[in-house]
Structure 1
Amino acid sequence: MSKIWLITGAGRGLGRSILEAALAAGHRVVGAARDPDSLADLRQRYGDRLLNPALDVTNPAQARRAVHVAAAAYGGLDVLVNNAGYGHLTPFEQTSEEDFRAQVETNFFGVANMVRAALPVMRGQRAGHIINISSVGGRVATPGLGAYQAAKWAVGGFTEVLAQEVAPFGIKVIALEPGGMRTDWGYTAREAASEILPDYEPSVGAVLNRMKAYVGNEVGDPDKIAQLVLELSNRERLPAHLLLGSDALHVFHQAETVRQKAAADWAEVSASTDFDDAELPAALKTAKFEPAGETFRA
């Protein structure tokens, strides 16, 4: 069945792959990008099944306009893919206030702006899928990616809260957390690196050196991820988080092992701040903190 999609950051990289997959599957798509001309070839091929307004996700008015374009032209909005984003790999100390804020504005507040615009339409329909393209960097820490990963950690938490809030009226929300993909993300992140201070060579410098060998050889296939996004858009139950890529699984499990050990090692200290006669409230014992997911089967 044909659905109505809105994809941000659709001009290149993963966003372009998702856009092409959705169009090839027969869907009607608003493919939003900062530069609408980047989609001229697809507009010519698919005609009125593709609309591509200019969109800066950091601008709430433009976010509302993009949703309005979808609803006015196609009659609603079934799938929102929040894909727009970028990162700069520099030590926090050497990241300007302007650059740090700009990365967070795009990678996190851009997601919030699009969701705020889309929710009234989806709530009225009592249906919809919101797919937030996050990163394994929303679960682990990488020196040099302070702004980018701060935003992605925020996206993960926001996604969990939102999924629980909107589940009663039929909206499904998921954060996809890929590892490295063969897009231009790595090149953009590296190009932003200036001469780092010698003190940061053991941390950020080591990451930059690893990226020299990794960029262009990432394990993640954007076209396979795009096909998975199509599959997820038909699911009635979704996990709040889904890691993508063997590299994402590897680094996530390493980070979780460290966290779990630290939690166990410090558990006595953690509990020591309770009142002496305190008991865990019954309501807290029965609370569920994540929507029920399902095992994915291709």
Structure 2
Amino acid sequence: MSQEKIWFITGVSGGLGRSIAKHAALTGATVIGTLRKKEQIDDFSQLVPGKTYGVLLDVNEHADIKGVIDTAVLNFGRIDVLVNNAGYGLFGAVEEVSMEEARQQMETNFFGALAVTQAVLPLMRKQQGGHIVQISSQAGFRSAPGLGIYNASKFALEGFSEALALEAANLNIKVTIVEPGPFRTSWAGDSSKRAAEVIEDYSDVAGKLITTINSYSGDQPNDPEKGAKVIVEVVNSENPPLRLPLGPEAHEAIKNKLKSVAEDISHWESKAIKTGFAD
């Protein structure tokens, strides 16, 4: 596929989603971007005039997704790249988060992405090609105190995406899981939610990290414009990776977890593998 692809990106009102849309359009792609507010549509459509088109969609409204996808195909003929970017961060120790707060987090970050993916897959199967980009997080690979339910939503996203990569490979459908570290977006600020309950016993661990994350909102070390350029370059490459950590912090976090897992496995391996009937 040439760079004149048709991209469909969820959650383009700002942050990484908007940056990805801009840089994809600047490479010659046509970008359909979803927004939850009508007043945001014209602004996005003028981002790269003639190349970016805003559409109204809340990924939590699953019944609306197929109609929006069908309209995009009617207008542009195909969808070559899907980017599931819509989502938000939920902060709170595991005990602090209510079941309703947890369900809302999973609805957007997991079920929303799953619903859009399932809506696009029949089209990509028919085309015998496409690329699905899941915007996860370093938190989708490595957990942190105060982010347990957010971690769970991104772990779930990564789980089905790994399976999908195996299921769809022979159909020429590629999958890339993007795992950003701290980028200068509103994720840690206005776009995030805090569990309503706060338990003092967790203040020195979960609470401390949440305060730190909130304090650097708007001052994160990584540039979403640069991150978006890497993502677009990966999509336009011949052999895109399954996983794409973004930023030095994400690389360090993931390498540290891999090291920790390897150490755990090695320490208990001699006993843990002796589980057969003959042992």
Shared fold (TM-score greater than 0.5)? yes
Q: How do residues 1-298 of structure 1 correspond to structure 2 at under 5 angstroms?
A: 1-44=3-46, 46=48, 49-188=51-190, 192=194, 194=196, 196-276=198-278
Alpha-carbon offset, residue 188 of structure 1 = 3.6
Q: Secondary structure at the match of 1:81?
A: strand
Q: Distance in 2 between matches of 1:267 and 1:103?
A: 36
CA contact (8 A) 1:134 1:178 kept: yes
CA contact (8 A) 1:88 1:189 kept: no
CA contact (8 A) 2:179 2:246 kept: yes
CA contact (8 A) 1:30 1:53 kept: yes
Give the aligned length. 277
Q: Secondary structure at the match of 1:10?
A: coil
RMSD of aligned residue pairs (Cα, Å): 1.9
CA contact (8 A) 2:164 2:175 kept: yes
Q: Secondary structure at the match of 2:182?
A: coil
Alpha-carbon offset, residue 269 of structure 1 = 3.0
The range that moved more, 128-137 or 257-266, is 257-266
Q: Which runs of 5+ in 2 are unaligned?
A: none
Q: Which amino acid aligns with 2:150?
A: Y
Q: Distance in 2 between matches of 1:12 and 1:36?
A: 15
Q: Distance in 2 between matches of 1:186 and 1:121?
A: 35
Structure-2 change in CA distance of 1:202 and 1:274 (3 Å): farther
Could you tell me the TM-score, scaled by structure 2's length?
0.92
Structure-2 change in CA distance of 1:75 and 1:189 (3 Å): closer
Q: Secondary structure at the match of 1:275?
A: coil
Structure-2 change in CA distance of 1:190 and 1:103 (3 Å): closer
Q: Which runs of 5+ in 1 are unaligned?
A: 278-298
Give the structure 2 partner of residue 291 of structure 1.
none
Alpha-carbon offset, residue 46 of structure 1 = 4.8
The range that moved more, 31-40 or 222-231, is 31-40
Alpha-carbon offset, residue 260 of structure 1 = 1.3
Identity rate of aligned residues, in percent?
Answer: 38
Could you tell me the TM-score, scaled by structure 1's length?
0.87
